[in-house]
Structure 1
Amino acid sequence: MADVHDKATRSKNMRAIGTRDTAIEKRVAALLAECGFAWTAQEKTLPGRPDFALDEYRCVIFTHGCFWHHHDCYLFKVPATRTEFWLAKIASNVARDRRDVARLHQLGWRVLIIWECALRGREKLVDNDLKERLEEWICAGEGSAQIGTQGMSQLATTSLPDTM
């Protein structure tokens, strides 16, 4: 199936996709503020430029889009056009995520990945549940984790999605 847009229009649309201050980042920021946590946004000095870094707790939080980071959920769909290009692009994102999480662990940082599906869509978690999970993980002070529609689970670099 051919793309419905010409190359210039598709390029313009792709450039318009924000990489910071996204709706899911704003929701997580509001939840962190409600809990009373202090954080730095888009911390440039750390591998992967985490969306939120909480120095006091030596932890970072990433908000990952399910498509861009290949989450195994209902929001991820393999594109019908330019499939090989997109699978390669997403695979490189996943490889970069693995590398960044491993580097953060080596530097002594805990990592939390909050998947887009937990924050928006038909199966999203309610704010109170998300707030509880955030507070619980941040204050526990140990291990890395991820939050999806099924709740919280442990995260290790090997539990990130395999590249395609």
Structure 2
Amino acid sequence: MADIVSTAVRSRMMSGIRSTNTKPEMVLRKGLHGLGFRFRLNDRRLPGSPDLVFPKHRAALFAHGCFWHGHDCHLFRLPSTRTDFWLGKINRNREVDARAYTALRDQEWRIGVVWECALKGRTRLPLDGVIDQCSDWLRSDRPELEIKGQ
């Protein structure tokens, strides 16, 4: 099936999709800042340029979009057009994530991932619960955190 908009329009639409300051990231930032946590944003000195970096806690937190990172949930659906392109793109994103996590672990950073489905959609969790889980993890010495929808 052909795209319903022109290539130029699709290109403009796709260029408008943010990679930083996304809504899930902003929700996490606001909630954790309100609890007194201080962090750096998208620190390019670290592998994977984590969304939130907590130097005091030696922790990096990623807010992953379920589509772009190929999460196995109801928010991810492989497009029916240009399937090979999208599979390649999403698999590359997964590979980049895996390399970044390995490099961060090698540098003794703790890694947290909050999936978009935990914050929106039919499987979302209560926002206070997500923020509390992140807060508890930051205060602990657990090496990893993953929060996904129910």
Question: Who is 2:41 aligned against?
Answer: 41
Question: Structure 1 residue 126: deviation in Å?
Answer: 1.0
Q: Could you tell me how far 1:143 is from its partner in structure 2?
A: 1.4
Q: Determine whether 1:85 maps to 2:99.
A: no
Structure 2 runs not aligned, ≥5 long: none
1:8 aligns with 2:11: no
Q: For residue 111 of structure 1, what is the amino acid of its counterpart?
A: I
Q: Distance in 2 between matches of 1:120 and 1:68?
A: 15
Aligned-pair distance for 1:125?
Answer: 1.1
The corresponding residue for 1:110 is 110
2:123 alignment partner AA = E
Structure 2 length-normalised TM: 0.97
Deviation at 1:142, TM superposition (A): 2.2
1:85-105: CA deviation from partner (whole Å, max 9, x where unpaired): 001000000000000000000
Tell me the equivalent position of 1:95. Answer: 95
1:17 aligns with 2:33: no
Residue 119 of structure 2 is matched in structure 1 by 119
Partner of 1:32: 32
Shift of 1:44: 1.0
State the distance in 1 between where 2:133 and 2:145 align. Answer: 10
Q: Deviation per CA, 1:13-36: give whole Å up to 9, x if none.
A: 110001111111110001111221
In the TM superposition, structure 1's runs of 4+ consecutive aligned residues that sit over 6 Å from their partners are: none
Tell me, in whole angstroms, the C-alpha distance in 2 between the residues paired with 1:147 and 1:32. 15
For the pair 1:134 / 2:142, whether they are aligned, the reply is no
Distance 1:19 1:70 in 2: 15
Secondary structure of the 1:3 match is coil
Q: Tell me how large the CA RMSD over aligned residues is.
A: 0.9
Residue 45 of structure 2 is aligned to residue 50 of structure 1: no
In 1: Cα distance, 2:7 partner to 2:82 partner: 12
Q: CA deviation at 1:58?
A: 0.1
TM-score in terms of structure 1 length:
0.89
Partners of 2:54 and 2:48 lie apart in 1 by 15
